[in-house]
């Protein structure tokens, strides 16, 4: 996956649902060995980073305070997608999963790396709303 493929999946898979949640996409960083894009909202930020040489993908969700992001190592306020999955994925209903697959039906990955990025988008769309708008 090159930088344009990364950006294409971001635009087609992440941007639509994050926009619905009030996130605005910032300028992407598309270096040869590192691709990253951030989405900002009032109280949260989402960063998707991929290192093609290492085949390393990470999705971070920051709980911002006074418009500032916490340190990336603050695991209480900077959560990985895996943390959100542990917290919320068990509560996702079968109908939510079916609707999620329909939402992403038009996004077809061309390789394994794009598939992993799409998978992260699918997971994030299921768990992020529960995190940013907790049910009481």
In contact, 41 and 21? CB cutoff 8 Å: yes
Stated as kind and residue range, the H or E segment containing 122 is: helix 112-132
* pLDDT value of position 136: 43
Question: What distances in angstroms separate CA 14 from CA 97, 114, 136, one per listed residue?
Answer: 16, 12, 27
Q: What is the pTM of this model?
A: 0.94
- Quickly count: other Cβ atoms within 10 Å of residue 57's Cβ: 19
Q: What is the mean pLDDT of residues 86-98?
A: 97
Band the pLDDT of 52: cuts 50, 70, 90: confident
Band the pLDDT of 134: cuts 50, 70, 90: low
The parent domain of residue 70 ranges over: 3-132
Band the pLDDT of 135: cuts 50, 70, 90: low
Band the pLDDT of 51: cuts 50, 70, 90: very high
* pLDDT value of position 55: 86
In the predicted structure, residue 39 carries a pLDDT above the cut 60: yes
* Alpha-carbon gap, residue 11 to 6, rounded angstroms: 9
Question: What distances in angstroms separate CA 99 from CA 12, 86, 91, one per listed residue?
Answer: 17, 21, 15
First to last CA, the chain: 41
Q: CA angle, corner 100, sides to 95 and 104, nearest 5?
A: 150
Name the percent of the chain lying above pLDDT 90. 80
In contact, 81 and 123? CB cutoff 8 Å: yes
Q: What is the pLDDT of residues 94-124, one digit of tens each?
A: 999 999 999 999 999 999 999 999 999 999 9
What domain count does the chain have? 1
């Amino acid at each position: 996956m090159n930088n344009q493929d990364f950006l294409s999946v971001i635009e087609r898979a992440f941007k639509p649902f994050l926009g619905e949640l009030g996130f605005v996409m910032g300028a992407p960083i598309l270096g040869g060995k590192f691709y990253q894009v951030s989405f900002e909202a009032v109280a949260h930020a989402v960063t998707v980073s991929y290192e093609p040489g290492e085949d390393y993908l990470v999705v971070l969700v920051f709980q911002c305070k006074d418009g500032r992001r916490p340190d990336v190592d603050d695991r209480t306020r900077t959560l990985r997608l895996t943390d959100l999955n542990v917290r919320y994925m068990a509560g996702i209903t079968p109908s939510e999963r079916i609707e999620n697959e329909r939402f992403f039906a038009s996004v077809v990955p061309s390789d394994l790396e794009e598939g992993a990025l799409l998978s992260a988008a699918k997971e994030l769309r299921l768990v992020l709303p529960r995190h940013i708008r907790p049910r009481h």
